[in-house]
Every structure is written in C-alpha cells, then in structure tokens.
Amino acid sequence: MEIEDKVRKKFEELLNEGVQLKHRKGRSQVRSEVHRQYCIGWLASAQNIVHLVVTNPVNPYRATVDKVCSTDLGYDVPNSVGEVSVILRSLLQDIDSGLLASIEDQTRASVFDDFLDHAKEYAKDKLKNEAGVIAGVVFEDTLRGICRNTGIEEKDKKLDSLIDKLVKAGTLTQVKAKRARVAAHVRTKATHAQWDEFELEDVNTTINFTEELILKHLEK
C-alpha cells in the first residue's frame, strides 16, 4: 500500500508537532489552556488522517486511536498526544513495509465473501438478475484491487483492458482471462439491465471465478 506525498507529509508534520505538545520531563498535564486546545486540535487531526488511511473501522490502529481520542480530554491530554504519536509512527512503518495493505485486503476479501454468499443464494433460487448484479460488482472490485496490488493503473479503465494487462503481467493465464471476460460481460450487461444478454450459467461462472481470485490474490 502506498500513500500520497501530501498524506505522508501530514504524518510527518503531526509527528513533529506531537513531540512539542506531549508532556516533558515527567509533566503529564497541560501547561496552559492554549496548550490544551492545541493538543485537542492535534488529536482531531491525527484521528482524521488515520481514518483517511485505514478504512476498516475495526482495524487495531484505527480502533485504538478512536479509543484514545474518545476519552476525557482534560488536563492529561498531553499523554493522549504521546500515545497517538506512537501509533502514528507504527502505522507509517507498517504502511511502508506493506503490512497494512495485507490487512486491508483480507478485510475486503471477507466482505466480498459475504456478498458472494448472497449471490449464491439468489442463483440457487434461479434469481439470475439479482445474482448477476451482486456477482458482477464483486468481480469488478476484486479485479481492480488485484490491478492496484500489481501496480496496474485501473482508474477509468475498462474491464477488458484490465484483463489484458493482467495477462501481460502474468497474473492471469489465457484460460483464466477467458473466464474473466465472461464475468466482465455479466457485470456490463447487469449494470445496464440487459437481462437477456447473459445466462444463469454465466452468473455461476462469475461467482466461482471471483471466489478463486479472492482466495489467491486477497486472502493471504
């Protein structure tokens, strides 16, 4: 996972400011009301940047920062600045080492699995259209996530083009690319409510293939 330069700059600014705001030489309380207000503002800014980078609300980094920031921000608030500073530094290190991306991918995979379970139930009940819509959405999001992890620019790119790029990168074989194009077809036709343009068999292919992609590329 990579972050934009302006986001990294904000991390560094917060860490530098945190050094000045947190308690010094055993003094855990604020030095003045102005100091307290600066600390509260710093915590709000730090919480915002963590939410921006960590989209999963139950991620330990985000949950811990939320807990610290939700406590009573009285005269001991410099301690909270110190605690969150440590979290920010650790988070930045995990981002640079690629660990956060792995955690986020696993969370995304879990959510996608839940959606696919719904698609399976619809398909089992012969509700082709409903199953096609859900399966198509999950397939596209999965494919685009794989592209991002592979370093392929996916924004505003058509699915067929992304499939070709993944084949060129060696991520998909020609056989898997053929199945991917079936899934892309379902996604496109379901999006435009062209229900007669795909069959229940195509939907099942989309579900099964998407599950394979998630298992191989996201659930690591």
SS3 call for 79: helix
Does pLDDT of 117 surpass 70? Answer: yes
In the chain, what are the domain boundaries?
A: 5-97, 105-217
CA 65 to centroid of chain Cα atoms: 18
Q: What integer best gives the mean pLDDT of the chain?
A: 84
Averaged pLDDT, 125-141: 89
Contact 77, 43 (CB under 8 A): yes
Contact 134, 122 (CB under 8 A): yes
Token readout for 59 is: 């991620």
Contact 139, 210 (CB under 8 A): yes
Helix 77-97 / helix 60-70 crossing angle, nearest 10 deg: 170
User: The domain 105-217: what is its CATH number?
Assistant: 1.20.120
Q: List the beta strands (DSSP E) in 46-154.
A: none
pLDDT at 209: 95
Q: Say whether pTM exceeds 0.85.
A: no
Does pLDDT of 30 surpass 80? Answer: no
pLDDT band at 15, cuts 50/70/90?
very high
For 125-199, where are the alpha helices, taking DSSP H only? 128-150, 159-168, 174-191
Averaged pLDDT, 35-62: 86
pLDDT band at 179, cuts 50/70/90?
very high
For residues 167, 173, 174 and 177, what is the CA-based torsion angle, rounded to 10 degrees? Answer: -70
Does pLDDT of 26 surpass 60? Answer: no
Q: How far apart are CA 176 and CA 43, in angstroms?
A: 48
